Amino acid sequence: MKKIISLLVFYFILAPYSSAQNIYSAELQKNSSLIISGSTNLLTFKLYQKGEKLSKNKLTVSTTQLQNKLYLSQNQLSVVVKNFDSNNCMALKDFLKMLKSDTYPTLQVQINYLELQPIYEKEQNNIGNALVSITITGITKQYILPISLTSNGEIFTVNGNKKLSIRDFGLIPENKMMGMIKVSEWINIDFHMICKITEDKYLAKL
């Protein structure tokens, strides 16, 4: 999903350092990845996007922290559906058809807030949860996504996994070959995001 997870990383990282409104720049690294895994009664398949497709631009986001929750302004993101790739061409074709990629070329994602434990030291592992609104084919649902984080200077690595049902968005799993192949309604979203985070002191003074 384009940019969706890069901002999840962004929110998760900034909470320990925010007490009022702050402005930060975030740059997703090319060795990041997003994987959506699905299955049928006969096989499993994976759809993926690499870092260069997830986000090509540096992001500028203002943040506000209230107690242990971090809120962000103007954080609705568009995810290009056709940027996904797969080693299973048939699964990719069915995925694009199911998500009606010609009618709905993008998914909409918004982070409502992030609730997490503070980071006190460099290279320390941390965990948290993000409340996320996801819109697919015009239907919006909210999910809490668990996240784990490690840091090394300005470079932060975040990993997470969430199991979703496509029925949440009014999508029906297809059966093929007269019902011999049955597609599961459940998918797993796995992300491995590596992001460079810096405070934008110039914009913060404006």
Model confidence over 149-165: pLDDT tens digits? Answer: 777 888 878 788 889 99
pLDDT score of 15: 47
Nearest to 139 by CA among 176, 174, 114, 104: 104
Express each pLDDT in 58-78 by its tens digit: 767 677 777 777 776 656 667
Q: Are 155 and 193 in contact (CB under 8 A)?
A: no
Reading the block at residue 139, the tokens are 């239907």
Quickly state the pLDDT bin for 168 (edges 50, 70, 90): very high
Predicted TM-score (pTM) above 0.95: no
Least confident of 6-20, 22-36, 53-67, 182-196: 6-20
| Amino acid at residue number 144 | I
Express each pLDDT in 39-61 by its tens digit: 888 888 899 888 777 766 676 76
Q: Are 8 and 193 in contact (CB under 8 A)?
A: yes
Q: Is the pLDDT of residue 177 over 60?
A: yes
User: How many Cβ atoms are within 10 Å of 51's Cβ, its own excluded?
Assistant: 19
Nearest to 13 by CA among 116, 146, 142, 145: 116
Task: Give dist(CA 160, CA 8) in Å, integer.
Answer: 10
